[in-house]
Each structure stands twice: as C-alpha cells, then as structure tokens.
Structure 1
Amino acid sequence: MNKYLKMVLYGSIVWLVPFIISFAFVDRQGNFTIDETFFKSIMVVTGALVGVVLAVRYFRDVETNYVNGGIVLGVIWLVINLALDLSMVYGGFFQMSVTQYFTDIGMRYLSMPIYTIGMGCALMQKSR
C-alpha cells in the first residue's frame, strides 16, 4: 500500500474509533451518561492507544528517515482529525463554538505529532 494512503487511512481510523466509542457514553439528546471529565479521559486514552498501535504498525515499513516520517505522519493525522472534528462542529453535531472546540478538544490532537515524532527519534537512535 502507498505510504501516504496508509497515513491517511490510519489517521482516519485514529479519529473513527474514539468517535464510535463515544456513542456508548452519550444519550440521544447529546448528554453525557457519565461524568464529562471521565468521558474526556476515556477519549484521550482511547485515541492514544489506537494512535500508538497504528503508528507502530506504520513504522514497521519505514527503513530510513524515521524522524521525517514521524513528522509527516503526525501532521497528516493532526490535519485529518481536526478536519473531521471541525466538520462536525460546523455541521452542528458538536454543540460548541470553534473556539470552545479548540480549548476543549482540538488541542489534544497535538499529542499525535508528539508521539509519532518521538517514535521516529527513538527509531533513528536505535538504527545508529
């Protein structure tokens, strides 16, 4: 599979899995069925778990330029996840303003390039 197609596919999965899981904790009116802070923690942990598993899987096929690969992977995932979320905000699915979205959710996606670049750095050091 083309590496960029794989990046986009994996980035979409990183967004989709927590999104699907979130339905277990929100009722039909959009209210949380559990404490909101606990819900956000579940989403962060789920996203991190899926992201790390898919980043490890992605890096299996990378043989050089690990740091560059981590940067590109993280930025692509960041853009995909922000775009999908913002489409939900603008579509009215998330009942919040764009500013509120970035303070409540959007900033958390910065963890994606952090762990993908970190993996790239670790792989680079190991390959020396």
Structure 2
Amino acid sequence: MNELEETMRERLKKNQFMSYNHIELEHVEPDYAVFRLDIRPESRNIFGMVHGGALYTMADNAAGSAAHTDGRNYVTQNGSLHFLRNQTEGTVRATGRVRHRGRSTVLVSVDITGQDQRLLATGEFSFFCVERSGKSS
C-alpha cells in the first residue's frame, strides 16, 4: 500500500455513513479514485435495484476522494448525477477523475459502472477547499 492510499484509508475510517452502506475504496492515485459496492439486500430499493441514494453516496465519495488526493480538505459544494440504468446484483463501481483544480475549488467527473462496464450513472461534483484551521482558502 502506498502512502496516498494509506492516508486516504485512514481518512475514510471516519466516514461512518460510507461504511454503514458497505461502500469501499478500491483504488486511489493523484486526482483519481475508485469505489465499489457489492450489492446486498440492504443496498436495494423496493424494485430490487440499487438504491439511488447508494449510487449518489458512492459518487460523492469517489469524487471527494479524488479531490482530496492533493492533501487538502474539501467539502462538497455541488453534485449532479444522471441515472441512466440500474442493476439488481453484482458489483458497481464509481470512478472519480479531477477535471479542474483551482486554488479554492475542484471539479470532478464521476462515472458509475456495473456489470460488463455498462454505464449506470454519470455526473459532476464541485468541492470547496477549506484550510485545516477551518478557514476558507
């Protein structure tokens, strides 16, 4: 495990909502992060498909983790996710890629894929950088 991955895993231990929903970090590198969800009964909506909230949570975490790879602290400023299709079993992955990194904001694109790399959802998230002291940069 490299230093970036170790640091990210330590930070994510504090994210109880992500853990509660069985969402896990699979891979991280500068400006890039992949999360996975192995679909469980509690991951599904009343129609038996992955709940949209689980997909959105995965997307927000993948995007946020990609933003955090520069070592600074961020909060989600805005998020938009387009749901295209869904699945009932197997594994889904959210991949976040930094598209733009400014002094105080970061824009990250996210794709959620399912079986056979089928695109399930896509979107963008923006993050605002906050200094470790809690003041805005």
Scaled by the length of structure 2, what TM-score is found?
0.36
Larger Rg over CA atoms: 1
TM-score by length of 1: 0.38
Structure with higher strand content: 2
